Amino acid sequence: MSKFALLIEYDGTDFAGWQTQGLAETARGRSVQAEIERSFLQLFSREITVHGAGRTDAGVHARGMVAHIDFPKDISITIPKLTIAVNATTPEDIVIRDIRHVADDFHARHSAVARQYRYTIKTERTALDRRYMWALRQNVDRDKLVRSAQKLIGEYDFTSFSKRTSDVKHYRCIVTEARWDFYGTVLALTIRANRFVRGMVRALVGAMVQVGQNVLSEDEFERLLHEPQEVRRAKYIAPPHGLVLEGIEYPGHFGLWNILEGNS
């Protein structure tokens, strides 16, 4: 087997999430993982498992998801031709942006050292951007958004801002960047951490918007961060379509993409 890393972009609107649902796939809807695996099966008549760097929920998009596959050595094809072939057989809402050979010890999930998301809000009704921005149509105190984001820098237990997940041992994450940028009526949060727990970004955005609308006080927001509360877990959830997985960072020796800094 040869190990390949895939850089994947997808529009999550019509997906039930990243992860394949197995026998429940038809009932619950399409998954990104299953579509790509179906493409490999169509091309090579082999079942090739696609191991993602993480999971995105239904409706969440990705510009820089990374996955790895163990590719059979007896199939002779160049990486450029493989990239073209896979893109010819995946649906239009999935694009394999690049494929690279990686060392055998690479793992898309376990080798990652940082992940970055972007959440975008528009404070007015929008037709063109409705699938990719939360059309809030209400004013938000931008200074409070900025102050709330600044409080997130550091290592915290994000139990209050996550959904309960049976396969997660703890909810501690180290956030290294959290900032709001403003472009007219567009508000965009960029957040970067060593790991994210399920629903974390959407719960944080929802809570920060509540702070910006004077529904939740800044002190209450900070208390949820410093004193994790199971009973109030993920109480404020922003809709999924405003969220994009921007990219994933790996140690340099793997020779992978540096798309978070605009290089590939």
Cα 159 from Cα 170, distance rounded (Å): 8
Q: Which two tokens stand for residue 183?
A: 């472009």
Cα 146 from Cα 252, distance rounded (Å): 32
Tokens 């992978």 correspond to 256
Please check whether residue 152 is in contact with residue 178, taking contact to mean a CB–CB distance below 8 angstroms: yes
Cα 245 from Cα 264, distance rounded (Å): 16
Q: Is 143 a catalytic residue?
A: no
Residues 57, 93, 98, 157: which is the catalytic one? Answer: 57
Cα 1 from Cα 106, distance rounded (Å): 13
Among residues 127, 9, 121, 11, the alpha carbon closest in space to that of 66 is found at 9
Which residues participate in catalysis according to the annotation? 57
